Amino acid sequence: MSDERISEKVKNVQSSAIRELLKHSKMEGVISLGGGIPNPDLFDREGLQMAMDKVLSVSWKDAFQYGLSEGSPDLREAICQLLKQRLITCHPDDVVITSGSQQSLDMLARVLINPGDVIVVERPTYLAALQVFHLAEAQLASVGTDGEGMKVDELEELVKTTTIKAVYIVPTFGNPGGVTLSDERRKKLVALSKRYNFVIIEDDPYSEINFTDKLFKPLTAWAKEIDNSENVIYTSTFSKILAPGARVGWVVAPEWIKKQIVTLKQATDLHTSSLSQSLAYHYLQTGRLPDQLKIIRASYKDKCQVLCEEIERELGEHLTFHRPQGGMFLWAKFKYQKNTTDWLKKTLANGVVYVPGEFFYADNPDASTLRMSYVSVADENLRKAVARLKASLE
Amino acid sequence: MSDERISEKVKNVQSSAIRELLKHSKMEGVISLGGGIPNPDLFDREGLQMAMDKVLSVSWKDAFQYGLSEGSPDLREAICQLLKQRLITCHPDDVVITSGSQQSLDMLARVLINPGDVIVVERPTYLAALQVFHLAEAQLASVGTDGEGMKVDELEELVKTTTIKAVYIVPTFGNPGGVTLSDERRKKLVALSKRYNFVIIEDDPYSEINFTDKLFKPLTAWAKEIDNSENVIYTSTFSKILAPGARVGWVVAPEWIKKQIVTLKQATDLHTSSLSQSLAYHYLQTGRLPDQLKIIRASYKDKCQVLCEEIERELGEHLTFHRPQGGMFLWAKFKYQKNTTDWLKKTLANGVVYVPGEFFYADNPDASTLRMSYVSVADENLRKAVARLKASLE
C-alpha cells in the first residue's frame, strides 16, 4: 500500500521546515536562533507549583473529568479580566478555550473557509497559519509589510478589486516579521473591514512581551469604536506568557461564528485539557502573572538588544532589519541578493542555525531574508552566533 | 452579518444531541442515564497526585515546554508496554499521541477521506464519529449489528459491489450498542480488509472495562496474523481508565499513514498537552493501573447487572437488549414501534433521561432504541430510573 489513500488535502501539506531545523538545533555545539519556543528558564516554576496544588486540592474532580467544549467558565471569566488590560472588553460567553493558538487558527480556517475563498496574509506571515489555510483550500493573497507592519494601502487596492473572506494578521510584535502595525494603519484596517465586509483574524500571542511603555491597542478594540466588532476575531494564548506545554489558548469571537467554533471544537477534540485549563486558571488567581511578565520582558528585551547591536556592529554592511518593540523574533534581510536557504548549510557547518525567510511567504518569497529568535540563547552565545554568521559570509 | 460566512462543511454539522441532553441531566432531581462520562468517584486521586508530584519534581521543564508533534517518547514507549497486555505488539515509532479519541478520529478522517469516499459504520455507531466523517465529506454506508457485533456477512455483500475506503468499528464493548464482535467475525473482517484492500479503524476505548475473564483479541492483532497490518489503524485513550479531563489518547498506525498523521497533528494543535502526557506517563510508572482497573471493572459490572436485572424484571415485556460483557453502555430496543425521542419528553417530566437511539445511525435510524449509561449512577437511582421509565409508559 502506498500514499494513494491519503486525502488530497493532507497530502499537499508538508511538515514544516522548522521541524527539520529543530533537529539541527539539537546537534552538539550548534547555536540555534531557529526555534520559536519560550525560554524555559523563565517558567514560573514556583507559581505553577502553587497553582497545581490548588488544582489537585480544590478542582481535582473538574480537572480530571470531561468539561464543556467552550472551556471552563472560570477560566473564560479570568481571561476577560486579563483582556481588560489589553483594552479589550468581552464577556465569558464570547470566549472559546482552545488547545493553543495553532488550534484556534485551524478551527477558524475550517469554520470560515470554503475552497477558493481568498485569505489575505502578510508578507512574511506565520508559517503554520499558511499550513492551516492550505488545508482549508483557501486561495491565498499577500500584502507587503514595512517597519509599521502590513501596508494597509496595498490591502485597500486589493479589496477594491477582489472579494476577500478574511485578513490574517499578527499586528503586534509579529512572527516572523517582528514588526508592529502602527495605530494609523490599525484604524484604517478595521475601517476597510467594515467598508468591504471582510473578517479580520487578529492573532495576538506576543503583545504582553512588550519592550516599550506604549500599549498597542488591538484591532479588536479599534473595531469596537467604529461598531465593527462583528468582523473581528481575536486569538491569543498562554504559551508565551505561562507555559506552552499546557496547550491553552483562546478565541474571542462574535456570536455568529462562536457557536460554530464550539460545535467544531466538540467534533475536533471535545474540549481542551481540563487539567491544563485548571492550571491556567489557578495560576492567574495567584496574581503572579504581572511580575512574571516583567521578568520575561526584561530578559527578552536585553537579549533582543544584544542581538541587534551585535548584528549592527558585525553585519551592518550585509543585513538590514527593523528593531523589534517586543516579541521573540528578529527578521533581517540581506542588502544584496543572497539565498538564505542555501546559506544555511554553510552556517550550520559553522555552528549556527536560523530559519530561512522564504518559508514564511504565501507567494513570491524573498529568499534573502531570515528569522532569528533570541529569547532562549545566552548572551555570549548570541555574540558567538553573530560571529559565526559573519564567518559564514567569507 | 449572518451565518452565510460559515463554511459549508461546518454549517452542516450540528451540535450533538447529547450536549443538549446534558443540560437536562443537570436539572434538580433528574436521574441521567444519558451521559457517556466515567464515574469521577473512581478516579484514582491518590495515584494521580503521586504522578503529578513526579511531573513537577522530575519532568517539569518538559511538561511546561513545547514537545514533539507525535508525542512524548517516554509515553509512547509506555503505551507499547500497556498494549502488550491487549495482545498488540507495536513500536513507539508506530504511536502518535492525540488529545483523546475524538481527535484521533477527526485526524484520521481528515487524513484518509476525500469527499465522496465511502466509510462504513455500524448500525448503531458512535455519534461523534459520524460528525467527523460528515465534516470530511465522506459518503457513509452502514452495516447492521446483532449480539455478536457487526454483521460481517452483510459487509461482505457490500464490498463485493462497492469500493470502500474504510470501516469504522468499536469492536469491543461498543458505544452505543454495548455489543462485542465475536472472534469468528473478527477474523473474517480482517480477511475482508486484506482481500478488498480497505482500511479498518479500530476504535478501542473500552476494552479494559471487561466484565469477563476472556480477553477479546483486537482486530489489530488478528490482522498481524494474516499479514494485513498495513490496513488496520488502532485508536485508544486514557479517558475511560484514568482521567478524561487530561485529554490523552493515541493512534497506532502503519507507516504510510503515520507520517501524515504527525504532519496534520502539527498543523492542528502542534502537539497534545505536555502536562497531560507527563501525568499519564508518570501514572503508568506508579504501577497502580492494574489495581485501579479492577476497581472500575467491579463497580461498572455491578451497576450494569443492577440495571439489566431491573429492566428485565420491570420492563421485560417492553424492552429487549443484549447484556454487555463490558464497557459503559446498555443499548435497548422496544419490542414494538415506539419513538424514543418523543418519549423522552415524558420520561424527563418523570425525572429520568437517556439518549434516544435514532441519533446513532448514519442512515435508516431505528427510533425505537435508546442508550443508557449505568456507570455514574448510584444503585438505588438505577432502580428509581427504571421505575420512572416504567411509569412513563403508562
pLDDT the model gives residue B5: 85
Cβ of B336 under 8 Å from any chain A Cβ? no
Judged against a pLDDT cut of 70, whether residue A147 lies above it is answered with: yes
Beta strands in B54-212 (DSSP E): 95-98, 118-123, 139-146, 149-150, 166-169, 199-203
Chain B residues in contact with A113 (beta carbon < 8 A): 7
C-alpha cell of B376? Answer: 455514574
Report the residue from B45, B112, B262 with minimal CB separation from A5.
B112
pLDDT by residue (tens digit) across B101-144? 999 999 999 999 999 999 999 999 998 899 999 999 999 999 99
- Structural contact between residues B88 and B223, judged by C-beta atoms closer than 8 angstroms: no
- Structural contact between residues A246 and A273, judged by C-beta atoms closer than 8 angstroms: yes
Section B270-280 average pLDDT:
97
Cβ of A195 under 8 Å from any chain B Cβ? no
Question: How many pairs of residues across A and B have Cβ atoms under 8 Å apart?
Answer: 241
pLDDT-derived band of residue B27, with 50, 70 and 90 as boundaries?
A: confident
State whether B8 and A114 contact (CB < 8 Å).
Answer: yes
pLDDT by residue (tens digit) across A297-313? 999 999 999 999 999 99
Section B148-163 average pLDDT:
98
pLDDT the model gives residue A21: 56
Report the residue from A15, A110, A245 with minimal CB separation from B7.
A110
Judged against a pLDDT cut of 70, whether residue B339 lies above it is answered with: yes
CB count within 10 Å of CB A184 equals 10
Cβ of A392 under 8 Å from any chain B Cβ? no
pLDDT the model gives residue A260: 94
Cβ of A356 under 8 Å from any chain B Cβ? no
State whether A273 and B37 contact (CB < 8 Å).
Answer: no
Rg of the Cα atoms in chain A = 21
pLDDT by residue (tens digit) across A28-64? 899 999 988 899 999 999 999 999 999 999 999 999 9
Instruction: Tell me the residue length of chain A.
Output: 394
Please report how many Cα atoms fall inside a 13 Å half-sphere around the Cα of residue B268, on the Cβ side: 27
Section A273-296 average pLDDT:
98
pLDDT the model gives residue A8: 87
State whether B37 and A66 contact (CB < 8 Å).
Answer: yes
Mode of pairing for the β-strands spanning A166-169 and A118-123: parallel
Judged against a pLDDT cut of 50, whether residue A122 lies above it is answered with: yes
One-letter amino acid for residue B57 of the chain: S
Section B304-330 average pLDDT:
97
Judged against a pLDDT cut of 70, whether residue B83 lies above it is answered with: yes
pLDDT the model gives residue B1: 39
Section B34-60 average pLDDT:
94
DSSP string, A338-371: --HHHHHHHHHHTTEE-EEGGGG-SSS--TTEEE
C-alpha cell of B132? Answer: 467527523
pLDDT the model gives residue B76: 98
| Omega within 30 of 0 (cis) for the link into B124 | yes
* Residue of B275, B281, B359, B376 for testing the chain A interface, max A β-carbons within 10 Å: B275
pLDDT by residue (tens digit) across B225-272? 999 999 999 999 999 999 999 999 999 999 999 999 999 999 999 999
B146 closest CA partner among B346, B389, B366: B366
State whether B246 and A273 contact (CB < 8 Å).
Answer: yes
pLDDT-derived band of residue B89, with 50, 70 and 90 as boundaries?
A: very high
Judged against a pLDDT cut of 80, whether residue A17 lies above it is answered with: no
- Structural contact between residues A292 and A147, judged by C-beta atoms closer than 8 angstroms: no
CB count within 10 Å of CB B170 equals 30
Judged against a pLDDT cut of 70, whether residue B21 lies above it is answered with: no
Cβ of A165 under 8 Å from any chain B Cβ? yes
pLDDT the model gives residue A12: 73
Residue written as cell 503521586? Answer: B50
Dist. CA A193–CA A130, nearest whole Å: 21
Instruction: Tell me the residue length of chain B.
Output: 394
pLDDT-derived band of residue B23, with 50, 70 and 90 as boundaries?
A: low
Judged against a pLDDT cut of 80, whether residue B22 lies above it is answered with: no
State whether A64 and B48 contact (CB < 8 Å).
Answer: yes
- Structural contact between residues B271 and B67, judged by C-beta atoms closer than 8 angstroms: yes
Burial call A336-353: b when 16+ CB within 10 Å, e when fewer:
eebebeebbeebbebbbb
Dist. CA A370–CA A354, nearest whole Å: 7
Q: How much is the ipTM here?
A: 0.95
Mode of pairing for the β-strands spanning B352-353 and A31-32: unpaired
Please report, rounded to a whole number, the percentage of residues in chain A having pLDDT higher than 70: 96
pLDDT by residue (tens digit) across A356-380? 999 999 999 999 999 999 999 999 9
Dist. CA A191–CA B198, nearest whole Å: 52
State whether A267 and B110 contact (CB < 8 Å).
Answer: no
Interface of B with A in 106-135 (CB under 8 A): 106, 110-114, 128, 131-132, 135
State whether B197 and A1 contact (CB < 8 Å).
Answer: yes
Judged against a pLDDT cut of 50, whether residue A2 lies above it is answered with: no
pLDDT the model gives residue B2: 43
Dist. CA A240–CA A238, nearest whole Å: 6
DSSP string, B329-351: EEEEEESS---HHHHHHHHHHTT
Per the prediction, chain B carries an average pLDDT of 94
Residue written as cell 465569558? Answer: A92
- Structural contact between residues A111 and A138, judged by C-beta atoms closer than 8 angstroms: no
Rg of the Cα atoms in chain B = 21
Cβ of B163 under 8 Å from any chain A Cβ? no
Dist. CA A105–CA A204, nearest whole Å: 12
- Structural contact between residues B340 and B378, judged by C-beta atoms closer than 8 angstroms: no
Section B211-216 average pLDDT:
96
Report the residue from B7, B111, B270 with minimal CB separation from A100.
B270
Section B311-337 average pLDDT:
97
Please report how many Cα atoms fall inside a 13 Å half-sphere around the Cα of residue B393, on the Cβ side: 15
| Omega within 30 of 0 (cis) for the link into A40 | no
pLDDT the model gives residue A1: 39
A76 closest CA partner among A96, A58, A60, A62: A96
Q: Is B71 left (phi over 0), alpha (psi -120 to 50) or beta?
A: left
Per the prediction, chain A carries an average pLDDT of 94
Q: In what order do the strands lie in the sheet with B166-169?
A: B95-98, B249-252, B232-237, B199-203, B166-169, B118-123, B139-146, B149-150
Section A388-392 average pLDDT:
98
Section B186-197 average pLDDT:
98
Cβ of A316 under 8 Å from any chain B Cβ? no
State whether B40 and A9 contact (CB < 8 Å).
Answer: no
User: What pTM was estimated for this model as a whole?
Assistant: 0.96
pLDDT the model gives residue A229: 97
pLDDT by residue (tens digit) across A325-349? 999 999 999 999 999 999 999 999 9
